[in-house]
Structure 1
Amino acid sequence: MSTRVAVVVGNPKPRSRTYEAALALADRLGGADLVVDLADHAGELFDWGSETVGGLVEDVASSLVVIVASPTYKGTYTGLLKAFLDRFPHQGLGGVTAIPLMLGASPAHTLAVDHGLRPLLVELGASVPTKGLYVVDAQHSDPEPYDAWFATAQHALPALPAPSTPSSPTSQAVPA
């Protein structure tokens, strides 16, 4: 069975502001069914034989919607996130709707989400029907940026089935 909403967080710091922002956005979609905090798997990302990472790739690829979140590092996404996305084969996110989300210290890097992360997701075969969401770090806990984005993007997002059971989102290996 497909995961309704998956979240992939590419911040090297566990349970970061990026993580919180991604879950806040997932709440607008009815909540996350799978949360992959890559900080929990950093030691395995370059182990191509890692069954854990391989399973996470499969789980994300079978989701209906994936929120792909990263802090802005040097005007783009993190290497941690890139290392995970490199595990997907060509068109490995085909059939998945992706929502790029980035956080940054100032509005100066607002375009990073649509000029850096969005094209990578499209290259992997994901449908990215909306503009990405860029949130200034200082506003990560304010509902306004998420609500404003959702108000303009919701019409382009796929209709999602209701969550099957209310449960806390989990990563395959580590509870979130």
Structure 2
Amino acid sequence: MPGILAISGSPSPTSRTARVLDHLAARLTDTGRHEVTILGVRDLPAEALIGADVHHPAILAVGEAVAAADGIIIATPVYKAAYSGVLKALLDLLPQYALAGKTVLPLATGGSVAHVLAIDYALRPVLTSMGAAHVVPGYFLLDTLIATAPDGSIALAETAQAGLDGVVTAFLAGLPVATPA
């Protein structure tokens, strides 16, 4: 069963980005064909991220999780036309070619369509420089298309869900096929 590491690059405890990632992970897990692990960068020790401590056990554990995954989903809110600073701090601490051989799906959320190019002009070059074998077309979700229920779950507008489903299909097609035991 292909393993997927889903990384939320949001620093917010009430993050729509993290909720979108949870929503996506649940859908992938429900198929029974994928094992999804979610990592919130905001849950990593700030002193390790800010102090650039590549030897911190939490940072080493992230590196191991990345190495073990067949595919990586990286989700980030867009701030100042780029991905989040906490995500940048984490990516800077991973080995140069941490994504070598990986299929990567970049996702972004934001409050304005003016941020839609942040994936291609800010995030994709970093993912490529880290050796990703295949960075599939990413997807930008406008905040207004993400409805949050009282229980914290989300519902996406039909057009947003359809677009997300399309990029996820391309991502899954890039993962290795599980061999029967």
Specify whether residues 114 and 85 from structure 1 end up closer, same or farther in structure 2 by C-alpha distance, changes over 3 A only. same
- How far apart are the structure 2 equivalents of 1:161 and 1:29? 15
**Taking every aligned residue pair, what percent have the same amino acid on both sides?**
32
Pairs within 5 Å for 1:18-167? 18-30=17-29, 33-43=36-46, 44-45=48-49, 46=51, 47-140=53-146, 141-142=155-156, 144=158, 145-151=160-166, 154-155=169-170, 156-158=173-175, 161=178
Number of residue pairs matched? 161
Task: Indicate if the aligned counterparts of 2:76 and 2:109 stay in contact, CA closer than 8 A.
Answer: yes
Q: Tell me the SS of whatever aligns to 2:128.
A: helix
1:11 aligns with 2:28: no
Alpha-carbon displacement from aligned partner over 1:89-127 (angstroms, at most 9, x marks no partner): 222111111100110001111111122111111110113
Query: Deviation per CA, 1:22-69, whole angstroms, max 9, x where unpaired?
Result: 222334533662111111114122333311121112112321111111
Q: Could you say what the CA RMSD is over the residues aligned between the two structures, in angstroms?
A: 2.4
For structure 1, which runs of at least 5 residues remain unmatched after alignment?
163-176
Normalising by structure 1, what TM-score? Answer: 0.80
Highest CA radius of gyration, 1 or 2?
A: 2
Distance in 2, matches of 1:101 and 1:11, equals 12
Mapped to 2, the partners of 1:70 and 1:152 lie a distance apart of: 16
Q: Alpha-carbon deviation of 1:77?
A: 0.4
Consecutive unaligned residues in structure 2, runs of 5 or more: 147-154
CA 1:131–1:116 in structure 2 vs 1: closer, same or farther (change >3 Å)?
Answer: same
Secondary structure of the residue that 1:103 maps to in structure 2?
strand
Q: Choose between structure 1 and 2 for higher RCO, CA contacts under 8 A separated by at least 6 residues.
A: 1
Cα 1:8–1:152 shift into 2, 3 Å: closer
Contact 1:19 / 1:69 at 8 angstroms: preserved in 2? yes
Distance 1:71 1:38 in 2: 12
Deviation at 1:159, TM superposition (A): 5.1
